[in-house]
Structure 1
Amino acid sequence: MRLIEKVWFNSHPAKCLLVPLLLPLSLLFWLISSLRRLSYKLGVAKSGLLSKPVIVVGNIGVGGNGKTPVVIYLIELTRSLGLTPGVISRGYGGQAPHYPYLVDSNSTAVEAGDEPILIQQRCQVPVAVGSDRIASAELLIKHGCDIIISDDGLQHYRLQRQVELIIVDGKRLFGNGLLLPAGPLREGQWRLATGDLVIYNGKVSDSTNHSFQSIDMTLAPTELCNLQTGDRIALFDFIESHACVNAIAGIGAPQRFFDTLTNYNFVIEKQQSFVDHHSFTLADFKKFDDNMPLLMTEKDAVKCRDFCKSNWWYLPVDATFSQTDQQVLQDKIKAAI
């Protein structure tokens, strides 16, 4: 974990130096972002209304909160309602030949970014990437999509939306509660009350003691998939024969992945964290023994397939909700269509 993240989330002693130094920049960030929001609210800056409904899945902070599993869940939910969903994304880290860029089976993470590739491969759904989310959405509508799911983009006020789902990491929550760069927040916690639904990734003890509606989500793995062959093995069958593993994670909150493995009784021999959206090369894996299984997230796997080894596996996870919370989420979607 980078030092600044330790300051944000773990009350590292360096906070006594860094936070005071960064607070003026946070004040500037607050001023600029507030003026930007106000310009859209007053109509000075123009927002675009699409011909099809838009669901935004976002967060008020930086880092991995669990947006992508929610997007995947929504793809299946909207399909069950008879809709044809499409997904738009910024495509962070990608360098596409043009924008908006329509992801297909031949696209790479270098072109489109890791999350759009993961979503397209897992769900076989139209995905368009680009900084202009309106243009990306219009491209998908031309390809027959009748509902648009935006992976991130809560602060992209130029795109009007019918539903806002705000994802919160139930463990890290809001860190020190400060705006960037002194803290991890893009917007203050007041923003939670303006969304349609807050989804906590992991339960929090005080989730009912606030003025906004919220539900709880759990990320549940069921199997491991081999990067090289595509073979799938049930999680508990894998553990019986390969309890001791190595592990890597290049996501917003790597420790969450390592904790998941230990919670399922894996013994991690060696582990290594990388920054979110890290571009992997074979040199990143020199420290690991080829004879021991190497486990990674599905998001990391899409960037490692070109040089993966036979003993590399990824752990896909699915967003799961209680029956009551499923109904709450479904009602929100139905009201938008």
Structure 2
Amino acid sequence: MESSYEKKNDVIINESTLSKEKTPVNIAFVTLVSIIVALGGLMFGYDTAVISGAIGFLDERFNLSPSMSGWVVSSILVGAVIGTALGGVLSDGLGRKKTLILSGILFGIGTIGTAIPSSLAILVTARILGGIGVGMSVFLSPLYIAEIAPAHLRGRLGSMSQLAISIGQSLVFIINYYIAEGGSYEWNVEYGWRWMFAIGAIPAAVYAFLMLFVTDTPRWLASKGKKEEALSVLNKINKDVNISQRELKEIENSLNANTSANFREIFKGKNKRPLFIGIVIAFMTQWAGINAIMYYAPEIFKQSGASLGSSFLNTVFMGIVIVLFTLLGLWLMDK
């Protein structure tokens, strides 16, 4: 006859084994929702790269000094910082879904504003407004996916946001190329850059529309006491009702355990090491200088001796390489 100790150990081993197994999930539903949410990255990619084709014409149109030209380029990042800060607060209050819809609307308004400015001040203001929208989306998209994706798919699905950013950048390089090639230099100075910005309103509108059909995450719903809605979403994710009920219980336990947590907790104990690693990685990816290349690619190619058309075409090839290596990273992510 087994001792109570042995029985207890069997239970612990069985539960541990079950927790590591891939639970049966509705992959089609999770993937579709993740793709829709990840499209927020497409807006970010579009807005960060569109300026590369427009800035040379903007310099001529508004007679910008080097410092003002740099301010026009970087003003979107000011908005992105604001959007990232607001995104966390708004998503906790309004929900992930509504905040992501708001991000698409803000981006759309900002994009249209940059296409029809009557002054430099309006152009910069519109860039900042659009930046707030993309800041919200680039912060919330991975968070949403992390809260809805099963553990064994979380890395790959979470990386879709980065893939969408890369596709958005590559797409805008192609659009900029065809617009620049479609008219004379004078036409581009007066109208071409406006079309480069204006086309960005299309993905913004599509994104905001598609987000209307996406539910909020189970974690946010549970945090607001909407247990039935949270369970309904979990039932769409999982093929086993019992698993959904267990996950809901785990979410509730997690929420109850974090009620007394505060911001200072991330700087304590074992949290310090992953925090440090995360900050260093985030810093070094920016310090590498890719943003400068992204924002000024056509101008860099022009100054190296390429013609206007060739400089824009070279950025297209650069965008293709970015997408290919993002796909490679996606493939390697969960390995």
Q: For the superposition of Structure 1 and Structure 2, which TM-score range results when normalised by the shorter chain?
A: under 0.3
TM (norm. structure 1) is: 0.25
The structure with more radius of gyration: 2
Q: Going by fraction, where is strand more abundant, 1 or 2? A: 1
Q: Going by fraction, where is helix more abundant, 1 or 2? A: 2
Structure ranking higher on relative contact order (CA contacts 8 Å, 6+ apart): 2
